Chain A
């Protein structure tokens, strides 16, 4: 079931005009910001399908930039996101693409700050609901229904058990978990949706485990 809560249907409270193209777009931008962990200084946003055809009319562009500035769907500042981005030192570019994607409302967000770079693909599936389908080349399926932690790690034995043990120690229950890798023995990604909030301290502890490269968190 893609829609789990009644508030996916009666909600979100948002700035108009489109739940999929404005609220969903803001959420995709905000997840990218969350995963990057700080405000990027540049962003290249590739839009596909209906996003590419109608983004100007729906305010998809201001909404994604608003999301990258950490604005929520109901934040009135979405309207001035372009001006705000300039003031906050975020330069951006929108690139409408003609390629067909599996879902009509797809955005690929590439962001960076001179030190780091990140690429993420998000889809807006209706009513403001979104899914993240790719992160730095790793295919994934992140619903956004639950809080989640993402762990980039070396593809070695024991990594998954170590992370799971650490979560168990703090009584954190795993609701859904996926592991993907680009090629055997290289880098891999764990996506762990959890029922409880994961504190900063636990993230740090996971980050210190052997063969763990990076740990990020997405709030509920």
Chain B
């Protein structure tokens, strides 16, 4: 099966030579591979966008997970924003709160759209619905945001990994943040090359991030890593739009992420055996939730 691009270089070159958006190349490739019509493909992505909207809405009203470890932070952040004294800016905190909202819904076993995974599902919609208020995109542009993000995710999934068990959190939230950064750039009117740069800058700063969920739950630290992934992608998008470039090409950053993932110890790849999961409090929470181990400290 032939595809239109195997890596970011080919993706950007094709977009440039055909004078098309990256999202357009992704849509054309999907048509080519599945044989489905543009309308069908756009409609499916539209439905995914609706799922994302509903998850954010639900999270902003406040949800709580069964374990009680996460929930309610999106509400806190929105209330804080409304006071108008934010230090990092309203758009930034809006993205952060909406990313948190999505992952709080996910942790509570609500309905979400994996982007690229469920544990990293907050970054792409969180940034999208925050940037939306600034850029006033059409519905089609919002759908294209997801195709642009999907194009970069497609390269990472095939050339490296998007699985925390295989590559650590860098493969999940790292990839999601890079995807969001690239998509923000396109929506803001940046070039395909700038999308690639934004992706590279983002992922470079998330290399080595381990997957160490407390008690094996997609809650701590996953929800807050989505928050920071969202902020990372906004800053990287601004840097790329300002004309800052990446010394290391995007595909090489992706390759470095893959190799780091391969050499990362198993204890730090979604086994809940190392990192934050192995801290005294992490262990204590695990025992408290599952009751499997002896809990010390008078509980």
Report the number of A-B residue pairs with Cβ-Cβ less than 8 Å: 173
Residue in chain B with minimal CB distance to A20? B163
Q: Given B51, B105, B179, B266, which contacts A13 in the complex, CB threshold below 8 Å?
A: B51
Q: How far is the CB of A24 from the nearest CB of chain B, in Å?
A: 9
B158 touches A10 (CB 8 A): no
Is B75 in contact with chain A by the CB < 8 A criterion? no
Nearest Cβ on chain A to B70's Cβ, whole angstroms:
10
Bound complex: CA A76 to CA B108 (Å): 12
Query: By the criterion CB–CB under 8 Å, are A16 and B117 in contact?
Result: no
Selected contact of B217 from candidates A2, A6, A58, A127, CB within 8 Å: A58
A128 within 8 A of B: yes
A125 within 8 A of B: yes
Asked if A50 and B269 make an inter-chain contact with CB atoms under 8 angstroms apart, the answer reads: yes
* CA gap between A16 and B110 in the complex, in Å: 6
The size bracket of the interface on B is 35 or more
Min Cβ gap A122→B in Å is 14
Bound: A104/B29 CA distance, A: 30
Q: Contact at B114–A125, with CB atoms within 8 Å?
A: no
- Count the A residues whose beta carbon is within 8 Å of the partner chain — how many? 43
Say yes or no for A126: interface residue by CB 8 A criterion. Answer: yes
Looking at the assembled complex, report how far the CB atom of A13 sits from the nearest CB atom of chain B, in whole angstroms: 5
Query: At the interface, yes or no: B113 with Cβ under 8 Å from chain A?
Result: yes
The residues of B that contact A50 with a CB separation of less than 8 Å are 165, 269-271
Q: Is the CB of A9 within 8 A of B150?
A: yes
Q: Given A4-B1, A56-B216, are A104 and B270 also a contact pair (CB < 8 Å)?
A: yes
B162 contacts partner chain A, Cβ-Cβ < 8 Å: yes
Residues of A within 8 A of B162 (CB): 9, 126-127
Q: What B residues does A53 contact at CB under 8 A?
A: 216, 270-273
Question: Any chain B CB within 8 A of the CB of A23?
Answer: yes
Q: Which residues of A contact B (CB under 8 A)?
A: 1-20, 22-23, 49-50, 53-59, 74, 76, 78-79, 103-105, 125-128, 195
